[in-house]
Amino acid sequence: MPRAPQTLAQKIIAKAAGRDAVAPGEIVICRVDLAMMHDSGGPRRLKPILERLGVKVWDPDRIVVVADHYVPAIDADSASILGLTRRWVAEQGIRAFYDMQGICHVVLPERGHLRPGLFVVGGDSHSPTGGALGCFMFGVGATDMAGVAATGETWLRVPETIRLTWTGALGLGTCAKDIMLHLCATLGMEGGDNQVIEYDGAAVRALPMTERMTLCNMAAELGAMTGMVAPDETTAAYVRDAGADPGDWRRWRGDDGAPLHLHLTFDAATLAPQVAAPHSPANAAPVGEVESARIDQAYIGACTGAKLVDLHMAARVLTGRKVAPGLRLLLAPASQRITQQAAGDGTLAAVTEAGAILRPSGCGACAGLGAGLLDEGEVCISTTARNFKGRMGAKTAKVYLGSPYTVAAAAVAGRIVDPRPLLAEAAR
């Protein structure tokens, strides 16, 4: 009997399960190609579980650990967590350990650990970022990760696929972050229904890899199990530049006629810059419809808002301008490599001359850790993925979400504004 058409997700799951094909709804056991964890949810949670089981990790060469949440240590508790992480990595013989090198979702692909067709498990809700490289990558909690670390396997119910096609081309002042905020408003925080969201269309294919990472990262904000983009020449080139072999990447795409849970089409050319009002990414609307709130702080950071392309967006707005008086603009590049690249191409000079304050690479204020937390009643606009109440500091603080263009424009104006007039002015 001929094999039924398979989606990209089904093909990767089938490979991991040692099967020719899988069907949505089936429960399968999968071999894990790679497991990623960080200092917050990783060693300090896994160590006691594995010790009770009397086992070590199944394969230290298939585990990546990134210290990104509590770095640099700001108190004794942070230092203790980091110390435990460093000792555990050494005890387990894990060589792929990135200590204060950046945010795990950025470090993992930039250091060549991801390539098309891999089945990857991450110990963080934004692990779907890896789907931008044609992987099947999803997040699990500490108990499930302990099972993966001990056995190299995990189980899942084969998900269905929701395809979101973006036609046309993005206009001035819009980017992947605007796509995702619009989708959060349109589909809601549960719109992904614990399924796979696969992004395609001309607008997606035109995006660089790091922008595709933003799309897949924020599949978590849609309630999806993961996000994916089928690999293409852009993917293969990125993987090679990261020092890895993309392999036979052309095989990793869905079959014609593969079953879809839902298929929606959007026109990128009609998309305006988006802003999400407190306290949910689903509270997004075109910037012109958002109250022109006064801002105390602007934050350019996190895995969705401080990659090199994000810093370039901010610099386009900030070059030759100054941060509004009385406003703090904090900038935390997503990795040390990005900091080096931004220093080398003049981006850091441009944004710091405008008044931006450089912060260490790491999760920082996005996760409610380190510098940049908000006081009672303060208002912030941020490039982060989430703006839940109390996430970035005091519960009475208000956090708006926007793209690097929009956050930089607010930093200059001292309030939320449309970035397009500033960008048009800079282009003249």
97 pLDDT more than 70: yes
Q: What are the residues whose beta carbons fall under 8 Å from the beta carbon of 405, sequence distance 6 or more?
A: 173, 174, 175, 273, 313, 314, 316, 317, 419, 423
> pLDDT at position 282, please?
97
The whole-angstrom distance between residue 241's C-alpha and the CA centroid of its chain comes to 20
The C-alpha atoms of residue 329 and residue 56 are separated, in whole angstroms, by 44
Share of the chain above pLDDT 70, in %: 100
Do domains 8-248+255-266 and 273-427 share one topology? The answer is: yes
The whole-angstrom distance between residue 275's C-alpha and the CA centroid of its chain comes to 18
> pLDDT at position 216, please?
98
- The H-or-E segment that residue 84 falls in is helix 76-92
pTM metric for this prediction:
0.97
pLDDT per residue over 83-95, tens digit each? 999 999 999 999 9
pLDDT per residue over 16-54, tens digit each? 999 999 999 999 999 999 999 999 999 999 999 999 999
Overall average pLDDT of the 59-72 stretch: 97
Q: Is the dihedral of CA 92, 97, 103, 106 positive or negative?
A: negative
- The H-or-E segment that residue 299 falls in is strand 297-300
Mean predicted lDDT score pLDDT of the chain: 96
The C-alpha atoms of residue 10 and residue 160 are separated, in whole angstroms, by 8
Share of the chain above pLDDT 90, in %: 93
> pLDDT at position 11, please?
98
Q: Which CATH number fits domain 8-248+255-266: 3.50.50.60, 3.30.499.10, 3.40.640.10, 3.20.190.10?
A: 3.30.499.10
HSE-CB for 382 with a 13 A CA cutoff: 34
225 pLDDT more than 90: yes
Using 50, 70 and 90 to split pLDDT, how confident is the model at 427?
confident
> pLDDT at position 57, please?
97
Q: What are the residues whose beta carbons fall under 8 Å from the beta carbon of 344, sequence distance 6 or more?
A: none
Looking at the chain, how many residues does it have? Answer: 428
238 pLDDT more than 90: yes
- The H-or-E segment that residue 38 falls in is strand 34-38
Side chain identity at residue 390, one-letter code:
G
Domain boundaries of the chain, sorted by first residue: 8-248+255-266, 273-427
Decide: helix, strand or coil at residue 45: helix
Q: What are the residues whose beta carbons fall under 8 Å from the beta carbon of 1, sequence distance 6 or more?
A: none
- CB-neighbour burial class of residue 272 (10 A; exposed 0-12, middle 13-18, buried 19+): middle
> pLDDT at position 202, please?
98
In the CATH scheme, what is the code of domain 273-427?
3.30.499.10
- CB-neighbour burial class of residue 95 (10 A; exposed 0-12, middle 13-18, buried 19+): exposed
Which tokens hold the place of 158?
Answer: 């084969």
> pLDDT at position 397, please?
95
Using 50, 70 and 90 to split pLDDT, how confident is the model at 2?
low
Using 50, 70 and 90 to split pLDDT, how confident is the model at 350?
very high
- CB-neighbour burial class of residue 368 (10 A; exposed 0-12, middle 13-18, buried 19+): middle
- The H-or-E segment that residue 423 falls in is helix 420-427
